[in-house]
Chains A and B, each alone.
Chain A
């Protein structure tokens, strides 16, 4: 698909946009604007490598490929397909997820050894993804309805300014009481997220860097999650992005799970 030249840059925040003053309404409005800017990519594919690092500096690598289908929430919710590439003993294992707003995802796991598709529980949101510092809920589609938002303030982030939004999970089984998200005021991209556990202590920090513009969508190529208590970290590095390839529901079925290598 081609993008007409007039659409090459992100639609700038309307100069006359005025967010409401009340913190909750302002927080929701900012979060809504950030969400709005991420809509319309239709589908995407990416190749991801993760580097897990413990406090002693030892590293371990994970590799995966992911395909996402954007589905309006009224029609069900985003669908995603993940295939694991590394470590090699789990290579070929694949996970199909249907997002369901606040409810846990519907998930199916493909085990290549047995050729078995097993429906699993999507309620393990706070568990570590592939042994990394990212929990499943950290990687799930960040749908607006999942959180309540409050505007906290504004501060400099690098050369830009960022809105600070506090958000609280509205879904069950979250490992967090709240999160603070820094969104830059120019493009509403997340720069940083602080995660507070259920005892309201700072647990992890996520930093997004290496943003690149694809048509009108900003995508970070690097996401580093650092566990403030253990000193462990995971760098999630995306090497390839591909959009609007024309995928349909049929490409996100249990049949697809069994074909993927």
Chain B
């Protein structure tokens, strides 16, 4: 829902005071005295205007009038000496007035489709150039009704074009406030906004877990709930934003998976070419689909899905400056976010529990170390390119084997200081997108080089229908010979994505990441569709197939699962 606030700087169309709407069951009288004498009614027109009906009575001269409304009938009584022709020339286009009839003497009776209220009435003087005569304008409104779709759809004879020019001239002759220049209450992009969703997520594992944990193994069904509302306030024509987005998941099996995070708590302000942001934020860098290797600012929320696309909020300060030779951005981050992993009762998870109490940081200031990042991005016609550099605490932990306080084997996360340079490249050529990402990560021990390159080709209007089929393929490469924390060192990703483009946005995705060395296959099948206006159902399948013992995904080999997610958006 969105509440549009009147902008303080609104250009107000100064309007003359408008008579308030009149109640209808009691006979009421509205009269205006003017100064002139005998007039003749030249004609009457009625049309729909701005959600109500506008009746315009053309007169040869100004006159006085009284409008009476009684029991659903509306009568316009003109001054006694006004001549009303017997055969009144009327043009009724649409709206609540069905006919205008001359009635004894100088009264016009309006036949109405439904009970109507008189919103306002006034006399418009003849235009100086002589195009329009004196006019008596009466605005009538019906009782509030839902949008009459049928009525709108019937207007297929262009009958509504009936000389709207007269009926839309602002009746105020005020020149200082400008003409009828549209809504003056501020940008449609400004105001308060509330977004977000609540969801219920269930996972069903096809096999029993390989990892026994006293007193029992992790279950084969899990259930969790999550909520992520988002509150924002935008002003200055969309140039300033305040946003707050908390996130909470409650897992019924795994206490470690129950977690709360502030995804966003920030102010962003744009001042011409300069943009400033302060607070907890999420910034995504990348162009590929299967893995995002350049993306570094935010820590993975390892407790969410296994695809690495959910992120923890990162406190930062950033500046971005747009020039003709690209956008230059710099960021400073602190309060490092640790990556969390599924606990003993969770699935999928690794073989040993993680002991966060022993987490090590290469940086002396631990999580308060100030990490720095810079990025340049530019668009050359169909090419989007970005080059980035990060210096600070690595978001990826090295997991070291150790012992906990009671002597059980555990894994201890260690976060080293690194320098990572990244490049992103995309070429957009009609239905073909070519993408590539590459990184060089300087770290204690072996420097890492990794790359990913691929394409996305979309067939629009499959088989002459309205659905699309996307074909995706990417090759992933990593130079590390012991890919303990990265299973994708010589892998091929292929996928088909089918979007129905129907009212419910039905989408199907089937893909696999094939390890060209170990012959391991990671298969994903995803389907989603909207239910009604507010609900969305997603079913995701993740299969770990033919996982040999030397593959880091070995610990997940029996963790095939189907995830069913039902989300309610607000």
Contact = CB atoms under 8 A, between A and B. Distances in A.
7 contacts: A7-B179, A54-B503, A124-B431, A160-B162, A209-B155, A211-B160, A240-B183
B262 to A, nearest CB: 14
B25 interface: no
A123 B433 contact: no
B503 A256 contact: no
Interface stretch (A13-21, A29-37, A113-121, A145-153): A113-121
A52 B175 CA distance: 41
Interface in B224-247: 230, 232, 234, 237-239, 241, 243
Contact of A114 (B180, B284, B502): B284
Interface string A78-89: 000001011111
B460 A127 contact: yes
A129 B287 CA distance: 24
A212 B282 contact: no
A128 B501 contact: yes
Contacts of B243: 261
A123 B430 contact: yes
Given A5-B179, A205-B156, A247-B237, 16 more contacts: A2-B175, A10-B165, A59-B149, A67-B188, A88-B569, A90-B505, A106-B428, A131-B505, A209-B161, A222-B155, A224-B152, A224-B155, A226-B153, A250-B273, A251-B238, A261-B189
B177 interface: yes
A102 interface: no
Nearest to B173: A5
What is the predominant secondary structure among interface residues of chain B facing chain A? loop
Contact of B179 (A44, A187, A215): A215
Contacts of B159: 158-159
Interface string B304-322: 0000010100000000101
Given A10-B165, A121-B458, A259 B238 contact: yes
Which of the listed residues B160, B286, B433 has the most CB atoms from chain A within 10 Å of its own CB? B160
Nearest to A112: B195
**6 nearest A-B residue pairs (beta carbon):** A88-B569, A191-B158, A209-B160, A157-B158, A2-B178, A3-B179
Contacts of A256: 238, 270
Interface in B527-545: 530, 533-534, 536
Nearest to A258: B268
Interface in B130-185: 147, 149, 152-153, 155-165, 168-170, 173, 175-184
Interface string A180-223: 00101011010110000000000001011111111100000110
Contacts of B320: 255
Interface string B181-222: 111100111000101010000000000000000000000000
A243 B153 contact: no
A226 B158 CA distance: 14
A4 B430 CA distance: 46
Contact of B153 (A47, A235, A248): A235
Contact of A1 (B163, B169, B181): B181
Interface in A59-101: 59-61, 65, 67, 83, 85-92
Nearest to A53: B149
Contacts of B388: none
Contacts of A118: 287
What is the size category of the interface that chain A forms with chain B? Answer: 35 or more
Given A211-B161, A212-B50, A2 B505 contact: no
B185 to A, nearest CB: 8
A179 interface: no
Interface in B487-506: 501-505
Nearest to B320: A255
Contacts of B173: 5
B18 interface: no
Contact of A250 (B180, B322, B428): B322
A190 to B, nearest CB: 9
B130 to A, nearest CB: 13
A94 to B, nearest CB: 10
A159 B428 contact: no
A192 B158 contact: yes
B461 to A, nearest CB: 6
What is the size category of the interface that chain B forms with chain A? Answer: 35 or more
Contacts of A8: 169-170, 179-180
Nearest to A129: B501
A158 B536 CA distance: 44
Interface string B534-570: 1010000000000000000000000000000001011
A158 B180 contact: no
B2 A160 contact: no
A2 B160 CA distance: 29
A154 interface: no
A235 B170 CA distance: 27
Contacts of A224: 152-153, 155-156
A119 B189 contact: no
A124 B181 contact: no
Contact of B431 (A123, A175, A187, A209): A123
A182 B239 contact: no
Contacts of B153: 53, 224, 226, 233, 235
B111 interface: no
Given A89-B530, A115-B282, A187-B165, A126 B270 contact: no
A127 B52 CA distance: 35
Contacts of A209: 152, 155, 158, 160-161
B176 A2 contact: yes
Given A240-B183, A251-B239, A261-B195, A207 B567 contact: no
B168 A212 contact: yes
A24 B257 CA distance: 69
Nearest to B383: A119
Which of the listed residues B169, B197, B309, B428 has the most CB atoms from chain A within 10 Å of its own CB? B428
B327 A255 contact: yes
B322 A213 contact: no
Contacts of B187: 45, 242, 245
Given A85-B2, A115-B284, A124 B460 contact: yes
A1 B175 CA distance: 12
B430 A104 contact: yes
Interface in B29-81: 48, 50
Nearest to A256: B238
Contacts of B258: none
B238 A211 contact: no
Nearest to A92: B195
Contacts of A240: 182-183, 188
Given A2-B176, A60-B503, A119-B426, A87 B534 contact: yes
Contacts of B311: 115
B416 interface: no
Contact of A245 (B162, B164, B237): B237
Contacts of B284: 114-117
A114 B181 CA distance: 38
Interface string B411-438: 0000000000000001010111100000
B468 interface: yes
